[in-house]
Structure 1
Amino acid sequence: MNISVVIPLLNEQESLNELHDWIVQVMQSNHFSYEIIFIDDGSTDNSWQVIKRLSIENPYVKAIRFLKNFGKSQALHAGFEKSQGDVVITMDADLQDSPDEIPELYNMIVNDGYDLVSGWKKKRFDSILAKNLPSKLFNWAARKTSGVKLNDFNCGLKAYKQTVVKNIDVNGEMHRYIPVLSKNAGFANIGEKIVIHQARKYGETKFGMNRFINGFLDLITIWFISRFGKQPMHLFGALGVIMFIIGLGFSMYLGIDKLFLNPTGRLITDRPQFYIALSTMIIGTQFFVAGFLGEIVLRSTQDKKRYLIKDKLNL
């Protein structure tokens, strides 16, 4: 199979028919063998009924329905698990991503040898203050932190080799950082393509200020995981040693001063250096213990299901 199109969605009943027909037209005109995998992330409208009808009319339509809203990352994870295409395309269901981009994205993976190609919505139709400026700031911070030189990390339109989606773990809210996860997994040949961004035709955007804040928190998380996820002791142990040495240094100074330089002076407990020494040694010990606990948790954690599937179609 040439292409798997993975589409996470939440309450997009108005756009699904048009999106399906558009994708099918592109696939047929380019003679691609394909599958379309819709992941209904707990929609409360008639999205699932629309998808059920599409799956009856078109056997290449497959679908997963979550028991409730688990988030876009979990939806992509489920779609990646079921995808069978040599190239996997992800896109949003709101018609702001154009299926006409699929052939060129496919060629960049197959012919140009990229592991992953990310779309870049250079010209946007979103509100400048509500989304454009926060997005630019977010992308700048992501580039500086991750070392992945992309202009639009959050673009839903991306193409992947199948080996990439089968070997990365998308969880939490990490769908924004799939290129970083890919790089960390060894798939570093990452490209970018300017894509058309269309004005939203139906419904309302799911973007809110909480997503902007969460994006930066997730950026800190993925930086930490990238650097220390497999060796937490390297960070916490180093901090613990530094803090403990600082405390030990103050303790030695106080001891030498009291015993040899100023034996009739103030009590050690009356001096501020005593509390600095005590605090830093305690904090250093806690950092060290945190490193040990992190290593133990890392080695004992079992893989758990992050979502519950309510229904499937053609899978």
Structure 2
Amino acid sequence: MNISIVIPLLNEEESLLELHNWIVKVMNARQYSYEIVFIDDGSTDNSWLIIEGLSVENPNVKGIRFLKNFGKSQALHAGFAKVQGDVIITMDADLQDSPEEIPALYDMIINQKFDLVSGWKKKRYDSVVSKNLPSKLFNWAARKTSGVELNDFNCGLKAYKNMVVKNIEVSGEMHRYIPVLAKNAGFGKIGEKVVLHQARKYGVTKFGMDRFINGFLDLITIWFLSRFGKRPMHLFGLLGSIMFVIGFLATLFIIIIKLVKLKSGYDTILVTDNPLFYIALTAMMIGTQLFLAGFLGEIILRTKNNEERYKISEVI
């Protein structure tokens, strides 16, 4: 199979039929063998009924339905587990991503040998204040932190080799950082293509300003996981050791000074009356806790089991 198209969605009943017909038109024009995998992330409208109808009409349509809204990352994870195509295309269901971009993305994966190609919505039809400016700041921070030189990390339109999606774990809200996850998994040839961004035709956006706050928090998480996710002791153990040594040396200094003063006949205060003693004691306690955090992290890594992150009610 040439192409698998993964489409996560939430309450997009107005656009699904039009999107399906548009994709089919592009696939048939290029004579691609394909599958379309819709992942209904807990829609409360008629989205699933439409997907069921499309699957009867078109045997290339498949569907996964979640019991409730688990998030885009979980939807992509479920879709990636199911796909069989040589090239995987992800796109949003709101018609803001154009299926006409699929052939060029497919060519970049197959003929130009990219592992992953991310779309870049260079010209956007979103609000400048609520989306464009925060998005530019977010993408700048992601580039500097991750080392992946992309202009639009959060573009839903992306293309992957099958091997890439089978070897990355998309959890939490990490769908924004799939290129970083791919890089950390060893897939180094990551490209970018300017894609058409269309104004929303139906409904309203499902994302608010809080996605950028969550995005920056996730950026810190993925930075930590990429640097220390497999060796937390290297961070917490080092910081803990430094803090403990500073506290221990400060305590030793206080005791030596007291002994010297006593031997010399000078008046001196109790060690416990010295404010520096409590600062040193606190440093030693924090150091011990950091060291234990690293130690526990190492134990968890060696004993963890994959947990079920979503529940599927129906599969077509």
Assess if the C-alpha contact under 8 Å between 2:261 and 2:268 holds in 1: no
Partner in structure 1 of residue 270 of structure 2: 267
Alpha-carbon distance in structure 2 between the residues aligned to 1:262 and 1:294: 45
Do residues 276 (structure 1) and 279 (structure 2) align? yes
Partner in structure 1 of residue 248 of structure 2: 248
Identity %: 73
Partner in structure 1 of residue 115 of structure 2: 115
Q: Structure 2: which amino acid aligns with 1:32?
A: Y
TM-score, with length taken from structure 1: 0.98
Do residues 42 (structure 1) and 42 (structure 2) align? yes
Deviations 1:79-134 (A, max 9, x none): 00000000000000000000000000000000001000000000000000110011
Q: How many Å apart are 1:249 and its aligned residue?
A: 1.2
1:125-274 alignment, distance < 5 Å: 125-261=125-261, 264-274=267-277
Assess if the C-alpha contact under 8 Å between 2:5 and 2:88 holds in 1: yes
The 3-state SS of whatever aligns with 1:289 is helix
Q: Structure 2: which amino acid aligns with 1:89?
A: I
Alpha-carbon distance in structure 2 between the residues aligned to 1:81 and 1:271: 61
Count of aligned residue pairs for this structure pair: 313
Deviations 1:55-101 (A, max 9, x none): 00000000000010000000000000000000000000000000000
Alpha-carbon distance in structure 2 between the residues aligned to 1:86 and 1:306: 26
Q: Structure 1: which amino acid aligns with 2:213?
A: I
Q: How many Å apart are 1:262 and its aligned residue?
A: 5.2
Q: How many Å apart are 1:306 and its aligned residue?
A: 0.5
Q: How many Å apart are 1:52 and its aligned residue?
A: 0.5
Extract structure 1 runs of 4+ deviating beyond 3 A.
none
Q: How many Å apart are 1:261 and its aligned residue?
A: 3.7
The 3-state SS of whatever aligns with 1:94 is coil
1:61-80 alignment, distance < 5 Å: 61-80=61-80
Listed as ranges, the gaps of 5+ residues in structure 2 are: none
The 3-state SS of whatever aligns with 1:113 is coil
Superposed CA RMSD in Å reads 0.7
Deviations 1:1-54 (A, max 9, x none): 000000000000000000000000000000100000000000000000111100
Alpha-carbon distance in structure 1 between the residues aligned to 2:47 and 2:308: 24
